[in-house]
Structure 1
Amino acid sequence: MLQKLGQLFGVSVAAGVLVAALAAPALGGIGIAARNVATGFLNMPSELETPPPPQRSIIYDAEGGVIAEVYDRNRELVELDQIAPIMQQAIIAIEDSRFYEHGGLDIVGTFRAALRTIAGRTQGGSSITQQYVKNVLIESATSQAEQEEARETTLGRKIRELRYAIALEQRMTKDEILEGYLNIAYFGDGAYGAESAAQHFFSVSASELNLNQAATLAGLVRYPELYNPRLNPDQAQERRDVVLDRMVATGVITEEEAEKTKAQDLELDISTPSNGCMPSKQPFFCDYVIQEIEKNEAFGETETERARWLRTAGLEIYTTLDPDMQEAGQKAVDKWVPRKNEARKVAAEVLIEPGTGEIRAMVQSRNYGPDESKLGETSINFTANADRGGSTGFQAGSTFKAITLAAALEKGLPYSTSFTSGSTITVTGQKNCDGNTLAPWTVSNSSESGGAATHNMVSGTKGSVNTYFAQLQKRVGLCNVIKMAEKLGLTRADGQSYDNPRTQENNSFTLGSEEVSPLNVAAAYATFASRGIYCKPMAITKIVDRQAGRTIEMEPECERRISKDVADGVNYLLQQTFKGGTATGLGIGRPAAGKTGTTDNSASAWFAGYTPNLAGAVFVGDPRGPNQYPLRNVTLGGRYYSVVYGATIPGPIWQETMREAVKKLDEKSFARSPARFGSTSEPAPPRREDPTDANPASSPGSVPNVVGMSRDQAVAAIESAGYRANVADRRLPSSHPEGTVALVEPSAGSRLAEGSVVNIFLSRGPADNGNSNGGNGNGGWEFPGGGGWELPALDDQWGAF
């Protein structure tokens, strides 16, 4: 050890003398110069920090698939034994053939380089250690001035590099230096380090490089752009042959091996890794993950610092995204609201796991890109809040009625809480959170809703009756409904608090007149699904920081916000919407609860629904301004819609997504309705539905009872009522004669939008087992859920429920 140190010390002194000698023509008096410069050389700072160089970070989905790579430098660090020996030999042969012999200073090469530098001509000849030092100084520079200093072509820079190089050889082994160099060197075309270069130019790992490939890469480091094999293949091939000759001269390969390799083409197989979210198949979720890191102070003091950490630390970012659920959601939104639709509408959907808040899917019917003027392109994530790359939100319509139900049940009101709810009422005496009385509020259902009707929570929810919920909000108290929204995480998407004059004077809060994001709506409904446990939406489960050698585990942030009874009560009520209510026909083959939502003038439409283990929210509207560009007289996916309601497009998007998404989940049932909320019966007379959500026909008729009629009679009757008849190919066993109508769906008496589809199922006669029941108005068959029967999938829409 002492002998080694002495040798290195001697080399250091010799280096100082050498430098002085090189400078003698300019200084005069070689002896004095040698002595002074040697002393100054040894007194220079010699401790060089060698942090891991910047490398790319990778974002993974929940199954380990790559979502995106994010980097300032396309680099993947590997250990020396992961780089093919032939690559190591090639780089040593061409860059520093005496690497394993010198102590960081190649006297001959440095002497030649210094002389030419003094003469004004830049010259290579630096040892691999010196080149490593130079790259470390460049990569670790934090300012433009430091960058320029590390790159300057002066004798002073050479001297600094020499001092650092000699000191570096005292504390690092040759293999450690070579490993560092092969990871930090720039090989051109955006590839840093041997691993990334091998992947980029040849689509192999550095451990798999052959002689031809290794010689090609080794030749690039001196002038990466000049010898770029993609852009300048002839120059690259000539340079490769020079490397092969050097490998022969150093005894690494034979002349025969060199000539055989020279006869080969470069055999490039260019593979460039994607950088950022634009090339990703999940671009908006990718952007959300990046926003989560850059906006979280736990990852750095400033946003700039956090962004640099993300793009240089080689992070492994593991997320919650389920690729199958993501694919199902993307397929559904693209089908119903194509990305480049001329109406410029957009559909956005989020799926969240109740009990953890983990985001399972985040999709929208747009291509990811910065040019908002291009049809179907945007960089705005319409599923998220503004502070996470989203918009300022959209009015959520009647999906907010679930919030009012929760507030009412929390106050102890029973399901039987009833009001006379005609087509139009005026609510007076409503107070805000300051106790101030609000102006009278006139709220309507529609002219088709008819005269006065009595509704309770069950019928009011099934029919989404505006006038019922207006009175229920007054009974509960507007302030209590607002506070319930806050409990459930339903904040405004623009970041503003509900504690502002506009919201406090907002009579129509229960009708969803506040702007929110699909992400927050999904999280609120997930709270019902998890029986009162609210979980903050989370996208990241773990970050592995390879540079710092640490793993950051991200835990769900959950807490009870409402009681189990209140959540179970809401769950019961929202299940009824699928049973003759506004979500009729939107079932997914297992227990589900949900709510449609449509704002005034059909500015935007929503559907929020859930099972006990998955919640989702869908928004459809116009990003340019829903009120200015409502969902009226639009053509989407080749279909014309005079009006779009919550059950017209958002509902089917949710249904098609959830049918696929829940396949990998266990089927679970909701808890029973809590006895404390009393009878679950609906009041008499029969309810009237609010067309804002239920989409009643503009004609005065309802779905006629055509069970038992012939096919032609049934079609004529349904079309006369203003609907479209769809006769299913599959026939059902029933007590009605073969060929007559066995069942219609939606059922007789339902009120739908004009032009909605009514499905007709013909009878094939009694079932062989004699189990035809009869007497229920649907040919003896209960639907849905009766006897396990489920309607076959239809290509056309189910009508605008």
Structure 2
Amino acid sequence: MLQKIGQLLGVGIVAGVLVAALALPAIGGLGITARNVATGFLNMPSELETPPPPQRSVILDRDGEVIAEIYDQNRELVKLDDMAPVMREAIIAMEDSHFYEHGGIDIGGTFRAAIRTLSGDVEGGSSLTQQYVKNVLVESADTQAEQEEARETTLGRKIRELRYAVALEQRMTKDEILEGYLNIAYFGDGAYGAESAAKHFFGVNADELNLAQAATLAGTVRYPYLYNPRLNPEDATARRNVVLDRMVETGYITQAEADEAKATELDLDVSNPSNGCMPSKMPFFCDYVVQEIEQNERYGENETERARWLRTAGLRIHTTVDSDMQEAAQDAVDKWVPRRNESRKVAAEVLVEPGTGEIRAMAQSRNYGPDEANLGETSINFTTDMNHGGSTGFQAGSTFKPITLAAALDQGMGFGTSYSSGNTTTITGQRNCNGGVLADWTLSNAGDTKGGSSHNMISGTKGSVNTYFAHLQADVGLCDVIKMAERLGIHRADGESFDNERTQANNSFTLGSEEVSPLTMANAYAAFASGGKLCKPQAITSIEDRQSGETIEIKPDCEQAIDKDVAAGVSYLLQQTFNGGTTTGLDIGRPAAAKTGTTDGSASAWFAGYTPNLAGTVFVGDPRGPQNYPLRNVTIGDRYYGEVFGATIPGPIWQETMSRATQELPAESFPPAPSQFGGTSQSPPRPNADEAANIEGGVPDVVGLPEAEAVSALEDAGFEPNVSSARVPSGEAEGTVAAVNPDPGSELPQGATVNVFLSAGGGSEERSGDLPGGGLFAPGRLEDVDGD
């Protein structure tokens, strides 16, 4: 009868009577009071924004596969048509059987609630529309105070809901309201909305729910904890049966159907979607993406706002990572530096696409987790800078030498630029970018390099000769080398500049004394590969905001940083390292250019290399402090190393990764060596007249000869051969000569020593060191580095 009255009375009169019933005792004057209250009720604010509720955001790889989900609430929005009819019927039968008949207010239920309200109980009697309003107010609250206001058990809150409900029914269809309710309602156990609840409890989509399952879910919304089928199966079953009885009463199902459903077990299949980066197969890349959003003002005014947007807006974040390349990188770093190795060393690797800056892989030999005390666990991303969740960086060793090559070529110097500096040399008069004169710098070459040798740009790069690069940097100018590094996007990982009052530039800049991240170095080498085009590292290509319906496109941010001929010249020089140089035996079956790096005392080791279409950098060291925990006399996994160089572990990691990662890429060639930089002979020019007085002939080319023939040829030429006991990986047959130092063609005095290195064959998993020409001794400076 009361429901019939509600249909006959106008909205204003109904509201007035309702509010009077809720607000006043049942005494005389009700008609006048109702009219006055109705007028005030209809004058209340009624515009309720109904934005989509919070839902899960997903991070996708470049092929659209999910690599991580991030959310505050486990919710996935679906259309009403994508929910099983029995789900809709069950919720209506249990929560608001007259939903399709009333105008937003269930008069009968609300009058009954009024009586309870006068007794201090404001629960019950709410229509589905009112419940939807309450949920919207709670979910759209920006502050804790607003959330508490939306949940408060007061008459004022109830009246606000009623007014919003009446207005909502005038601008939304019943199906739209029901869809909104079924997407926003909490079904318990962390599942919001019918779709997520169906997947969580039963492992099916909402449109696949059967009668018993739908009734179980519909029974939870009033008291989600009490009727949680996982925690309280008996109560949940009893509640399900109540729902089934109500569905019989309302005519949605027959008694027979209800009895059949009651006879079934709950048959749960509970699962939870992963949340955050920890469960991801590529957690550190995931973390980089999260940092990219939370640290970028483009996505919100402050970090709190950006973090909330990420976790509530249902974003579809399309990224640059290639899952196959990521797997190749992860397999390689885990193989050579196991995650839980007792030495606590770590390997970190980044792959970047030249010409776009897109990050294809980001791997390190650590499990992702917050407890650094657990062996093999960290939340620090050692591949990137501190402001992206990374470390303060690591000295990069001789991977910095190509910066000096680029600066020299940029100034017009040629491949024939040569120096005869001996095994030890002293550099004087270097100036920093403020014009300050630095102290004299004395340095030495490591290995078996002998004094009196002369190198040009090609042989100096192949042998990674420290004394050569010290002189080259001195001629170019330290400040110009620093500026070239900055042009190539290289910067300290801690955010400091290379040359200020706190971090003053030092003599050994060319030898990699600055702390940088692997991502920075990979991106700089990608600039060489792309003809001098530098792009900012990019992890995200687009973001679909499912709340606003907008899509944010992120295009590559590139500029021509150096001349294309300079880049081609550097690439030519770095290709030579595979031919008897420091990267010999680490080729990948296609054109590649690379450079090793080992810091002073083997504190850390690097390998940076590239093809024309993919660049990669590997770092190996100890996060506790490479100088205090160097790569000497160390067991990593099941291998013991007396000393680790850039070609010992980083090199094989790079080789194995790139061999797999480039399989689907075309085998492109580098441009030829630009003619403007002169000839490409590896032999330096003849020394000056004073030096030439003692020279009678050049070192014969004995590479590829058996040991005895090579020794005989060198002795016949008037030199003293010194056959090294250490064999090196080489394309030459095992036991034949892989390389000599000084290089073939070098002109030396009669009786000079020529060092001979025999080949170990097609490469070796363990290397005791690189070919001669590396190493630095500068007492008192831990920043100075070896030069491999």
TM-score by length of 2: 0.88
Deviation at 1:798? 5.8
Deviation at 1:297? 1.1
Q: Do structure 1's residue 335 and structure 2's residue 326 form an aligned pair?
A: no
Residue equivalent to 1:717: none
Deviation at 1:25? 2.6
Kindly provide the CA deviation profile for residues 411-436 of structure 1, in whole angstroms up to 9, marking residues without a partner as x. 00011111113221110011222223
Residue equivalent to 1:83: 83
Deviation at 1:750? 8.0
**Map of 1:595-674 to 2, 5 A cutoff?**
595-674=595-674
CA distance in 1, matches of 2:346, 2:285: 16
CA distance in 2, matches of 1:12, 1:171: 17
Residue equivalent to 2:349: 349
Bigger drift between 313-322 and 292-301 goes to: 292-301
Query: In 2, are the aligned partners of 1:707 and 1:743 still within 8 Å (CA)?
Result: no
Amino acid at match of 1:444: S
Kindly provide the CA deviation profile for residues 132-186 of structure 1, in whole angstroms up to 9, marking residues without a partner as x. 0000000011111111111112222111111110110001000000000001001
Q: Which of 1 and 2 has higher RCO (CA within 8 Å, sep 6+)? A: 2
Residue equivalent to 1:775: none
Q: Do structure 1's residue 424 and structure 2's residue 424 form an aligned pair?
A: yes
Closer, same or farther in 2 for the Cα pair 1:198/1:281, shift >3 Å? Answer: same
Residue equivalent to 1:63: 63
Closer, same or farther in 2 for the Cα pair 1:86/1:750, shift >3 Å? Answer: farther
Bigger drift between 133-142 and 228-237 goes to: 228-237
Deviation at 1:40? 2.3
Closer, same or farther in 2 for the Cα pair 1:15/1:502, shift >3 Å? Answer: closer
Residue equivalent to 1:443: 443
**Map of 1:232-251 to 2, 5 A cutoff?**
232-251=232-251
Deviation at 1:759? 6.8
CA distance in 2, matches of 1:214, 1:746: 78
Amino acid at match of 2:540: I
Residue equivalent to 2:529: 529
Amino acid at match of 2:606: W
Which structure 1 residue ranges, 5 or more long, are not aligned?
1-5, 688-701, 710-719, 733-740, 752-756, 762-790
Deviation at 1:581? 0.2
Query: In 2, are the aligned partners of 1:393 and 1:517 still within 8 Å (CA)?
Result: yes
Residue equivalent to 2:738: 747
Closer, same or farther in 2 for the Cα pair 1:371/1:531, shift >3 Å? Answer: same
Residue equivalent to 2:19: 19
Closer, same or farther in 2 for the Cα pair 1:361/1:251, shift >3 Å? Answer: same
Residue equivalent to 1:183: 183
Amino acid at match of 1:363: A
Closer, same or farther in 2 for the Cα pair 1:465/1:75, shift >3 Å? Answer: same
CA distance in 2, matches of 1:426, 1:192: 71
CA distance in 2, matches of 1:502, 1:422: 34
Query: In 1, are the aligned partners of 2:418 and 2:684 still within 8 Å (CA)?
Result: no
CA distance in 2, matches of 1:744, 1:551: 62
Amino acid at match of 2:452: A
Query: In 2, are the aligned partners of 1:572 and 1:672 still within 8 Å (CA)?
Result: yes
Query: In 2, are the aligned partners of 1:220 and 1:227 still within 8 Å (CA)?
Result: yes
Kindly provide the CA deviation profile for residues 587-616 of structure 1, in whole angstroms up to 9, marking residues without a partner as x. 000000000001111111100000000000
Deviation at 1:9? 8.0
Residue equivalent to 1:116: 116
CA distance in 2, matches of 1:288, 1:651: 25
CA distance in 2, matches of 1:97, 1:758: 89
Deviation at 1:117? 2.6
Query: In 1, are the aligned partners of 2:647 and 2:767 still within 8 Å (CA)?
Result: no
Kindly provide the CA deviation profile for residues 469-510 of structure 1, in whole angstroms up to 9, marking residues without a partner as x. 011000000011000000000011111112313554411100
Kindly provide the CA deviation profile for residues 273-302 of structure 1, in whole angstroms up to 9, marking residues without a partner as x. 111111111111001001111111111111
Kindly provide the CA deviation profile for residues 362-394 of structure 1, in whole angstroms up to 9, marking residues without a partner as x. 001111111111111111111111111111111
What secondary structure sits across from 2:448 in the alignment? helix
Amino acid at match of 1:446: A
CA distance in 1, matches of 2:232, 2:116: 28
Deviation at 1:18? 2.1
What secondary structure sits across from 1:188 in the alignment? coil
Residue equivalent to 1:410: 410
Kindly provide the CA deviation profile for residues 313-339 of structure 1, in whole angstroms up to 9, marking residues without a partner as x. 111000000000000000000111111
Residue equivalent to 2:100: 100
Residue equivalent to 2:373: 373
- Give the length in aligned residue pairs: 724
Query: In 2, are the aligned partners of 1:415 and 1:678 still within 8 Å (CA)?
Result: yes
Which structure 2 residue ranges, 5 or more long, are not aligned?
1-5, 688-701, 710-722, 743-756, 771-788
Residue equivalent to 2:678: 678
CA distance in 2, matches of 1:9, 1:318: 54
Bigger drift between 108-117 and 341-350 goes to: 108-117
TM-score by length of 1: 0.87
CA distance in 1, matches of 2:287, 2:544: 19
Amino acid at match of 2:268: L
Deviation at 1:231? 1.1
Deviation at 1:749? 4.6
Residue equivalent to 1:364: 364
Closer, same or farther in 2 for the Cα pair 1:461/1:152, shift >3 Å? Answer: same
CA distance in 1, matches of 2:97, 2:658: 63
CA distance in 2, matches of 1:425, 1:798: 28
CA distance in 2, matches of 1:544, 1:9: 47
CA distance in 2, matches of 1:352, 1:484: 20
Q: Do structure 1's residue 278 and structure 2's residue 278 form an aligned pair?
A: yes
CA distance in 2, matches of 1:760, 1:647: 14
CA distance in 1, matches of 2:151, 2:675: 78
Query: In 2, are the aligned partners of 1:519 and 1:617 still within 8 Å (CA)?
Result: yes
CA distance in 2, matches of 1:524, 1:172: 56
Deviation at 1:747? 2.0
Bigger drift between 123-132 and 438-447 goes to: 438-447
**Map of 1:277-316 to 2, 5 A cutoff?**
277-316=277-316
RMSD between superposed Cα atoms in Å: 2.5
CA distance in 1, matches of 2:503, 2:412: 25
Identity %: 71
Residue equivalent to 2:712: none
Closer, same or farther in 2 for the Cα pair 1:8/1:538, shift >3 Å? Answer: farther
Query: In 1, are the aligned partners of 2:392 and 2:516 still within 8 Å (CA)?
Result: yes
What secondary structure sits across from 2:662 in the alignment? helix
CA distance in 2, matches of 1:421, 1:112: 100
Residue equivalent to 2:781: none
CA distance in 2, matches of 1:153, 1:650: 64
Amino acid at match of 1:500: N
